[in-house]
Amino acid sequence: MPLPRILLTNDDGFESEGLHRLCETLAAIGQVVVVAPQDARSGAGTAIGDPTRVRARQFTMTGAASAWALDANPGACVLLARFGAFGPPPDLLVSGINQGFNLGRQACHSGTVGAALLGQAGGIPSLAVSQDDANAYDKAPGEQHWRSAAEVALAFAKLLLERNAGMPATLNLNVPNLALPDIVGWRLTNLNPELPREGMSARVAMPDDGDGWIEFDFGRKAAPSPGTDAHAVEQGYVSATWLAALDQGEGRHSGVDLAGLQFPAPAFAD
């Protein structure tokens, strides 16, 4: 029986360590085809641009059956793959690992999530994978635990391939930046409806010569509501959120049974 085809993309660019780590890990369960932007395209959402003239370069990547870097947004990478540019259609699309959470309203702007949604639009079960950024502006620099996010993604990817009921949807994963044994477990969550920070504001700083800047104040972190993705990761859990399926009114569940899911660490045995 042939291995399933897994399309792998991201919005942090082809050279992102998260992309390479995820490719190596997913190779254990499928034939991985990497099609990713040649540079960072964070915040691209589902934007495609003009897909009729896209520059492409082929590379080698550990774990990949083939690997391509495109001068295009993640959405265009997925669209071109869907229509056969890099071989037969994939059985699963995985987007990530994004360096930084995509929680709540952030999912609307994320190129990582946007790529997964375009996979879903083409009938492909899709997984978006993001991890807390160890070097975010409000943190002291630390280690990025890529392996943790890659192993979590592998567990969910296996389940989507094994249990997919032919009802494509996007599962948005957010993984705490912790060593795998330190992650408490996982929770099925809703998107956090509130803004992640309070007191955010923007102002124009304009000198007399008319050449100035827009200054943005990130405010302070807001407390997320229980049951949401933001609350789960704050408590040390992996957050798994179904995004609306195209053929379901509420889209809360795609028909894939996640019961019994465990990760390769003692902390998940509960």
pLDDT at 91 over 90: yes
Across 234-242, average pLDDT:
95
What is the sign of the dihedral through the CA atoms of 50, 55, 60 and 66?
positive
Q: Which residues, at least 6 apart from 23, have a Cβ–Cβ distance to it below 8 Å?
A: 8, 32, 34, 61, 62, 63, 64, 67
Per-residue CA distances from 115 to 4, 32, 68, 133, 265 (Å): 19, 16, 16, 20, 29
Q: What is the pLDDT of residue 195?
A: 74
What is the predicted pLDDT for the residue at 139? 72
173-199: average pLDDT? 89
Tell the CATH topology of 5-194+224-268: Stationary-phase Survival Protein Sure Homolog; Chain: A, (3.40.1210)
The string of pLDDT tens digits covering residues 57-82 is: 999 999 999 999 999 999 999 999 99
How does 159-190 read in b/e, with b if 16+ C-beta sit within 10 Å? bbbeebeeebbbbbbbbbbbebeebebbbbbb
Average pLDDT estimate for 131-138: 85
Domain ranges of the chain: 5-194+224-268
Per-residue confidence band for 248, with pLDDT thresholds at 50, 70 and 90? very low
d(CA 206, CA 241) in angstroms, rounded, equals 42
Which residue type occupies 185?
G
Which pLDDT score, from 0 to 100, does residue 199 have? Answer: 77
Q: What is the pLDDT of residues 21-40, one digit of tens each?
A: 999 999 999 999 999 999 88
